Amino acid sequence: MALVAEIRRTHRLNGPDREKLWKLSEMAARFPEAGAGAMSFLRQDLPPALRETLLDFAEGTSPHGHVLLRGLDVGDVPPTPAGGDTAALDGHPTDGTLTLVADLLGSLVGYQDEKSGALIHDVHPVPGEETRIENSGSVAFDFHTENVHHPLRPDFLGLLCLRRDHDGVAATRVASVREAIAHLTPEDVAALRRPVYHSAYPSSFTRDTAAGPPPLSGPHPVIFGDPDRAFLRFNSHHTRAADTRGTRALDALARALETVCQDIVLEPGDLVIVDNHVAAHGRSAFAPRYDGADRWLRRFYSLRSTPLWARRMMRRPRVIPRMADIRGVV
């Protein structure tokens, strides 16, 4: 069983599958906000081995909480942008690649509060934002589940590498709670299951709000679900406990995640997909040069099911409404 799990953790596309995916991606990129149903005919034509890998991972039973696809085509990549807002790759076939993968896992979504609802996020360093704990920074980014504050957190996220950093040291760090839990005491696990934690909104959701402390979500547990298939809601930068016992348990969790962490230095054409309820992820530090050749990833979010009430409130296809409109609903 260990060998099977290890094989399924990484899938490398062969030449014909790589070419087929690229052709499908070119077609999908022509319809940037088409609904998941409109893409179904393209998804059905994805290479069978790739479909099987993704559908198996989408079941949520992976103990590792991630799968790595290697050998994807990324086409011609322009210089890494210097600014935070860029349309350098609008309509690029990698838009189609990420849309097809996200829609096979669930449905590609964006958040109105984050990057104005963009569906594909460009992740690269921005001058002057080196210390920001978000995708424009270059300092270490500790373990977190994506959009920890949100009632409709992504079920999956993907990071596609277009270009690695100059020194080849920037690692995407992934750590599964299902592996980390073995390194926690029963008392720590019990403490982490209590709904006594609050998580602040991340800075990517508060860029356009008034100055002051960010809003808080919660109270919520950090670990939940069956003991043998645990789930995680945690951000080392934003999740805080209401008591000292909870704080000690958070410290123990951070150490346990570090113990089981896998550092993945992505190469161009690598796509790592993370189960956002099973694995926390982060990034090691790196030194940008702002010379057009800096590290550049592209990110997607995928949601298995969007509630009817949320879909009816969407102002744009696939874009989750503002937190101000839905806070407290779930």
**Whole-angstrom distance, CA of residue 296 vs CA of residue 277:** 25
Enter the pTM of the model. Answer: 0.94
Beta-carbon count within 10 A of 317 CB: 17
**Whole-angstrom distance, CA of residue 304 vs CA of residue 62:** 16
Q: What does residue 20 show for φ and ψ, rounded to 5 degrees? A: -65, -45
> What does the mean pLDDT of the chain come to?
92
Answer for the pair 60, 304: CB distance below 8 angstroms, yes or no.
no
Instruction: Name residues whose C-beta falls within 8 Å of residue 104's C-beta, 6 or more positions apart in sequence.
Output: 43, 46, 51, 54, 55, 58
**Whole-angstrom distance, CA of residue 251 vs CA of residue 317:** 40
Q: Give residue 135's pLDDT.
A: 78
Q: What is the pLDDT of residues 153-180, one digit of tens each?
A: 999 999 999 999 999 999 999 999 999 9
What is the percent of the chain where pLDDT is above 90? 79
* pLDDT tops 70 at residue 269: yes
Q: Give residue 6's pLDDT.
A: 42
Q: Helix 2-9 to helix 48-58 angle, to the nearest 10 degrees?
A: 110
Find which of 205-209, 211-215, 234-238 is predicted with most confidence, using mean pLDDT.
234-238
Answer for the pair 135, 85: CB distance below 8 angstroms, yes or no.
no
**Whole-angstrom distance, CA of residue 71 vs CA of residue 15:** 8
Q: What is the pLDDT of residues 23-79, one digit of tens each?
A: 999 999 998 777 777 789 999 999 999 999 999 999 999 999 999 999 999 999 999
Q: What is the pLDDT of residues 293-327, one digit of tens each?
A: 999 999 999 999 999 999 999 999 999 999 999 98
* pLDDT tops 50 at residue 5: no
Q: Give residue 329's pLDDT.
A: 83
* Rounded mean pLDDT, 206-217: 76
Q: What is the pLDDT of residues 83-127, one digit of tens each?
A: 766 678 989 999 999 999 999 999 999 999 999 999 999 999 998
Q: Give residue 100's pLDDT.
A: 97
Q: Give residue 1's pLDDT.
A: 30
Instruction: Out of 170-174, 196-200, 207-211, 237-241, pick the least confident.
Output: 207-211
Residues comprising the chain, all counted: 330
* pLDDT tops 90 at residue 191: yes
The β-bridge relationship of strands 262-264 and 172-176 is antiparallel
Instruction: Name residues whose C-beta falls within 8 Å of residue 26's C-beta, 6 or more positions apart in sequence.
Output: 93, 96
Q: Give residue 8's pLDDT.
A: 61
